[in-house]
């Protein structure tokens, strides 16, 4: 084999190795990376939703339905637990329009899954984690908005409010009660906001 043939063979070998690396990172034909990203996405969403629903169930069974002076303090007058019901959206806005927010939640969930699949968000690890958090938060609160939970001591009463239980207070100000699903939504939104600043602008070639 002459010198040019050896150089060509070596170049071909390097290109083959680079191709395998690209495949593992999601730019080629090996889809194992894609399965791992989908697994991570759905695992975050599932675990987040389950933790949210379990904590709501335990706290409401323990502390009961909302009533005055039902706080249980972890850090006296700062961080505690108190059951509350939210018939609207964030901070109780949109009271009486629970069915609208339930419909929007279903649409948002479909949009998140579409972004992960057809939108190819799975190629980005930060997007995968962020969207997993958002989906888990959506399903956690959607469960409540659809009235799929049973109020403790009132098994025959249908309630479609979102259950909240995390309490923050600073002096005379009390932050609106929230839950794990709300925390997932806020964290996911924060990561998406951060991603929008750190993402590089696409080049003409890409």
Q: SS3 letters for 69-123?
A: CCCEEEECCCEEEEEEEECCCHHHCCCCCHHHHHHHHHHHHHHHHHHHHCCCHHH
Q: What is the pLDDT of residue 155?
A: 77
- Which residue from 206, 45, 58, 57 is spatially nearest to 123, judged by alpha carbons? 206
Question: Does residue 193 sit in helix, strand or coil?
Answer: helix
* Strand-pair partners of 169: 174
Per-residue pLDDT of the chain (206 residues; tens, 9 = 90+): 554 544 444 554 554 444 443 344 444 455 888 999 999 999 999 999 999 999 999 999 999 999 999 999 999 999 999 999 998 776 666 677 778 889 999 999 999 999 999 999 999 999 999 999 999 999 999 999 999 999 998 878 899 999 999 999 998 899 999 999 999 999 999 999 999 888 665 554 44
52 is catalytic: no
Q: What is the pLDDT of residue 173?
A: 94
Structure tokens at 130: 């962020």
Q: What is the pLDDT of residue 91?
A: 60
Q: Which one is catalytic: 25, 124, 156, 164?
A: 164
Q: What is the pLDDT of residue 92?
A: 62
- Structure-token match 């279903």, residue found: 106
Residues 169, 148: Cα–Cα separation, whole Å = 30
182 is catalytic: yes
* CB-CB contact of 162 with 100 (8 Å): no
Domain ranges in the chain are: 30-198
**Single pTM value for the model:** 0.80
């Amino acid at each position: 084999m002459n010198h040019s043939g050896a150089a060509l063979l070596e170049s071909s070998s390097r290109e083959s190795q680079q191709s395998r690396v690209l495949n593992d990172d999601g730019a080629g034909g090996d889809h194992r990376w894609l399965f791992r990203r989908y697994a991570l996405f759905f695992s975050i969403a599932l675990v987040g939703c389950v933790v949210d629903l379990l904590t709501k169930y335990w706290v409401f069974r323990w502390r009961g339905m909302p009533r005055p002076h039902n706080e249980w303090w972890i850090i006296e007058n700062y961080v505690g637990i108190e059951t509350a019901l939210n018939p609207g959206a964030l901070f109780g806005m949109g009271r009486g329009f629970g069915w609208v927010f339930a419909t929007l939640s279903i649409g948002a969930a479909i949009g998140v899954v579409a972004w992960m699949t057809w939108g190819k968000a799975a190629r980005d690890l930060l997007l995968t984690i962020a969207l997993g958090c958002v989906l888990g938060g959506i399903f956690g609160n959607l469960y409540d908005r659809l009235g799929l939970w049973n109020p403790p001591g009132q098994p025959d009463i249908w309630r479609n409010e979102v259950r909240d239980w995390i309490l923050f207070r600073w002096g005379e100000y009390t932050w609106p009660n929230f839950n794990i699903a709300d925390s997932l939504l806020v964290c996911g939104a924060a990561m998406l906001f951060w991603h929008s600043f750190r993402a590089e602008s696409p080049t003409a070639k890409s």
